């Protein structure tokens, strides 16, 4: 395969091994004479895939029997609505830590259902950092605390969960899901669009703690938008092929060594890029150092003209999708689990050459 170095923020690079396995099974799955895409979601074959993927997630995250796992549709954006629809009512308050574009969108949706308190916001400084625990000013009795664990646009990331003194966390983990171990005991809900770190676009992974789920008020919630509707059963036709692909990625994560392996792997890749950024003033990190993301490294060059030249010349070296988000500009290198070290090393070598020629 003639594969480029893909730094797309999403849909993002998938493991080559997974793509090859899917290719081999695409037209005929397990000698059944048809593709998995052509099989009923009630078939034994798909039910086995669904269960295997849930078992792998349970093992990788250490969920035990305390959580429900669902494969839904609508992306993380649908969860901006669905979480407060189930857990926030008029007169109640939820706390939303505001660290970027996506948390701001989640706040807008939550306000439809109840009160929203922002215990912290970095909007005035361009979302250039995430808070320390002593900067969080929570409301008196929040139903939950929502945070976005990794911010793809700005390039910031929580190194650990924010301390909430026992209030359940609701987390949009779309862009760093399964990139490192987490303390699952702190979460009420973890949701993630698959297209950044665990599969193709079209499936959203939702993990809910059972005792938190029991608190949901679904009196006026449509059936399909109630989380209980999707527990322990497949309610409606799921994105069959996407779940199949997620299952293959989860298998790959396990074979590589699990979340401890990827924590170290991602730290090593991030260090390569950030060390290069910090050598001098030619490249300038876009966020504060203590808040830097290992998934999305964002930086600026001395001028927008040089940034455009950087992106154009990078593509000639098979380095693709390095242009920053349209709302902030600059350069963004997304280095999810499936981004090979070789790609990061090639990027760093290009950064060195580009500095030497234009610095």
Q: Does 252 show up as a binding residue in the annotation?
A: no
Q: Does 231 show up as a binding residue in the annotation?
A: no
Q: Does 122 show up as a binding residue in the annotation?
A: no
- Phi and psi at 173, nearest 5°, equal -105, 20
CA gap 66, 52 in Å, rounded: 17
DSSP letter for 133, please: G
Catalytic residue among 50, 95, 98, 102: 102
Of 94, 116, 89, 63, nearest to 216 by C-alpha is 89
In the residue annotation, 172 being an active-site residue is answered as yes
CB of 66 within 8 A of CB of 196? Answer: no
CB of 329 within 8 A of CB of 308? Answer: no
Catalytic residue among 50, 95, 98, 172: 172
CA gap 170, 187 in Å, rounded: 6
CB of 293 within 8 A of CB of 273? Answer: no
Catalytic residue among 54, 180, 186, 196: 196
Q: Does 102 show up as a binding residue in the annotation?
A: yes
Q: Does 236 show up as a binding residue in the annotation?
A: yes
- What would the DSSP string read from start to end of 233-297? S--S---HHHHHHHHHHHHHHHHHTHHHHHHHHHHHHHHHHHHHHTTSSSSEESS-GGGB-SSEE
Query: How do 150-151 and 156-157 pair as beta strands?
Result: antiparallel
Rg of the chain, C-alpha, whole Å: 21
In the residue annotation, 102 being an active-site residue is answered as yes
Residues 6+ apart with CB under 8 A from 156: 99, 100, 127, 128, 129, 130, 150, 287, 288, 291, 292, 293
CA gap 69, 83 in Å, rounded: 14
Q: Does 346 show up as a binding residue in the annotation?
A: no
Residues 6+ apart with CB under 8 A from 201: 10, 11, 75, 193, 194, 195, 242
Q: Does 338 show up as a binding residue in the annotation?
A: no
Instruction: Tell me the catalytic residues.
Output: 102, 172, 196
As annotated, the binding site includes 42, 76-77, 102, 152, 172, 195, 236-237
Instruction: Report the binding-site residues for pyridoxal 5'-phosphate.
Output: 76-77, 102, 152, 172, 195, 236-237
As annotated, the binding site for L-glutamate includes 42
């Amino acid at each position: 395969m003639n594969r480029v170095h893909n730094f797309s923020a999403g849909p993002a690079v998938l493991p080559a091994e997974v793509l090859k396995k899917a290719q081999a099974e695409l037209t005929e799955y397990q000698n059944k004479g048809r593709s998995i895409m052509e099989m009923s979601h009630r078939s034994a074959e798909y039910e086995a895939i669904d269960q295997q993927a849930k078992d792998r997630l349970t093992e990788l995250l250490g969920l035990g029997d305390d959580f429900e796992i669902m494969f839904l549709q609508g992306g993380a954006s649908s969860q901006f609505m669905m979480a407060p629809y189930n857990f926030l009512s008029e007169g109640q308050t939820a706390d939303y830590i505001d660290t970027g574009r996506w948390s701001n969108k989640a706040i807008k949706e939550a306000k439809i259902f109840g009160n929203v308190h922002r215990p912290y916001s970095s909007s005035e400084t361009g979302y250039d950092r995430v808070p320390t625990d002593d900067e969080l000013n929570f409301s008196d009795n929040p139903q939950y605390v929502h945070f976005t664990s990794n911010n793809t646009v700005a390039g910031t990331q929580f190194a650990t969960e924010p301390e909430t003194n026992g209030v359940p966390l609701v987390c949009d983990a779309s862009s760093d899901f399964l990139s490192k171990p987490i303390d699952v005991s702190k979460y009420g809900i973890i949701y993630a669009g698959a297209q950044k770190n665990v599969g193709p676009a079209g499936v959203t992974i939702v993990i809910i703690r059972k005792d938190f789920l029991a608190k949901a008020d679904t009196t006026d919630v449509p059936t399909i938008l109630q989380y209980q509707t999707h527990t322990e059963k497949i309610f409606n036709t799921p994105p069959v092929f996407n779940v199949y692909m997620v299952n293959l990625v989860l298998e790959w994560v396990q074979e590589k060594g699990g979340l401890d392996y990827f924590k170290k792997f991602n730290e090593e890749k991030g260090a390569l890029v950030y060390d290069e950024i910090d050598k001098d003033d030619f490249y300038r990190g876009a966020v504060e150092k203590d808040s830097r993301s290992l998934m999305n490294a964002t930086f600026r060059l001395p001028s927008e003209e040089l940034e455009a030249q950087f992106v154009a010349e990078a593509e000639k070296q098979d380095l693709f999708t390095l242009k920053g988000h349209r709302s902030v500009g600059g350069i963004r290198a997304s280095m999810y689990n499936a981004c090979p070290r070789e790609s990061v090393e090639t990027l760093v070598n290009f950064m060195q050459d580009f500095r030497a020629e234009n610095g």
